[in-house]
Amino acid sequence: MTSFIGKFKGAGEKLPPKAPLRAIALAGVGACLAIGTVATLSSSMSVMLVLGSFGASCLLLFGFPDIPFAQPRNVIAGHFLSSFVGLAFLSIFGPHWWTVALATGTAISLMILTRTAHPPAGANPVIVYLSQPDWSFLFFPTLFGAVIITAISLVYNNATRENKYPRYWF
């Protein structure tokens, strides 16, 4: 038991290095452009396109674009799969505490299994549980919004960084 509790001290590693100010500023501007675009389209099209988990997606897309979680495949498929699972569980079992728990666990496992893990998408079954939308939620805001923020990240990251983005597609 003491070795288990001792693990809570952590590994004692040092903090990662601080990001350069330019990278910090570019991440903030990119996120602002992506969410601003989705919000503007949402308003002009009179359809919901903004999903709470998209803010966290922008942190990965613009702040850490080289990691696997920030690749287009992960962002788009992760959001789609996770919302699909949330909607399926809601439709089949109804809005119960255990439904959202099972849906979230299932969505996370499926994202890992399909190599489309995108941590912000893990919130989508919870969002589905809280808002109880119909099946159109899978396309608006989930798929359409994920495609828009990913498309913006493709243009923005390649225009502002030396590294190529994405690291891979399939």
- For the stretch 143-153, pLDDT in tens is 999 999 999 99
Domains of the chain, by residue range, sit at: 21-160
Residues 123, 52 contacting (CB under 8 angstroms): yes
CA quadruple 92, 94, 95, 96: dihedral positive or negative?
negative
For residue 1, pLDDT beyond 80: no
CA dist., res. 30 & res. 63, Å (int): 9
CA dist., res. 15 & res. 120, Å (int): 23
CA dist., res. 6 & res. 53, Å (int): 34
Query: pLDDT tens-digit profile of 40-86?
Result: 999 999 988 999 999 999 999 999 999 999 999 999 999 999 999 99
